[in-house]
Amino acid sequence: MVRWRQGPTSGNVEDRRGTRISGRAAGGAGGILLLLILIGAAIMGVDPGQVLGGGGVPSGPIGQPSSLSAEEEQQLADFTAQVLGDTDATWTRVFAEDLGRTYTPPTLVLYTGYVESACGQADAAVGPFYCPSDRKIYVDLEFFHDLHARYGAPGDFAQAYVIAHEVGHHVQTLLGTAQYVSAAQQRVATQAEANRLSVALELQADCYAGLWANRSSARNLVLEPGDVEEGLNAASAVGDDRLQQQSQGYIVPDAFTHGSSAQRVRSFRGGLDTGRLGACDIAGLPAVG
């Protein structure tokens, strides 16, 4: 189990938890299929409006019981704030020491079932995501139960990886990388080319998650036996090849938007093993380190 030495807990948490609701995608076989298709987005922080195409947002509340007890949910909320606080401290040092810049932390929004963001409306099927328009990370804590129960990626370090990856998207926004990719996607001729840019962005966010773990472990984070494997397992669990095989029974590499399991593990490991920004320079993206 991941342990922290005395470290900060983020105050940048906006708690919107309340009545749990879901949209029409949440029930039946169609909901399961949608979850499998969207699970890459669920962890990797794409704009839910782009994924859902405006059609998967609930038009009204539908009750849905939580899989978490009140105690479990509060423990996850506290853990999330602790991880976010550690990413804040780590990236503040990285920006100052490596880039000579000031880091502005993101806000993390906790919600249940359905949320409004500056990127649009989303229900919990989309999962954790980062919205660059308001620079906020959105998390339904129920997702961490699904990460274990549905996708075979248990452990608190797997959960920390999810949060750190979303913070990686925030770092990309601060550095202008996300804006570069968005503009480049408007210029390319095919969807396959646009997808390759998306893959590059997601792999870099994986690498940034690993970099956080490396640089934090020198100060606050104490990795114990099995922790790294939890993070690697989570990265592997959301590879496009694995998800496509699960949802449709075959693999279409040109349709990848987040990278294969092997790519994701390799990128996460690159940041974890080196702790260097330069290790997270990805082909097709502007160099940072």
- 281 lies in a domain? no
Q: What is the pLDDT along the chain (289 residues), one digit of tens a residue?
A: 556 555 667 889 999 987 454 443 333 333 333 333 344 444 444 444 443 333 332 333 334 556 778 888 899 999 999 999 999 999 999 999 999 999 999 999 999 888 999 999 888 888 789 999 999 999 998 888 877 777 666 678 888 999 999 999 999 999 999 999 999 999 999 999 999 999 999 999 999 999 999 998 666 666 666 776 776 666 666 555 555 555 667 566 666 567 778 888 899 999 999 999 999 999 999 998 6
- 47 lies in a domain? yes
List, in order, residues 6 or more apart from 40 with CB less than 8 Å away.
202, 238, 240, 243, 257, 258
- 286 lies in a domain? no
Whole-prediction pTM: 0.79
d(CA 150, CA 223): 25
- 54 lies in a domain? yes
The count of structural domains within the chain is: 1
- 117 lies in a domain? yes
d(CA 10, CA 85): 4
- 289 lies in a domain? no
Residue 45 is classified by DSSP as T
- 285 lies in a domain? no
- 282 lies in a domain? no
* Residue-number span of the structural domain to which 62 is assigned: 3-276
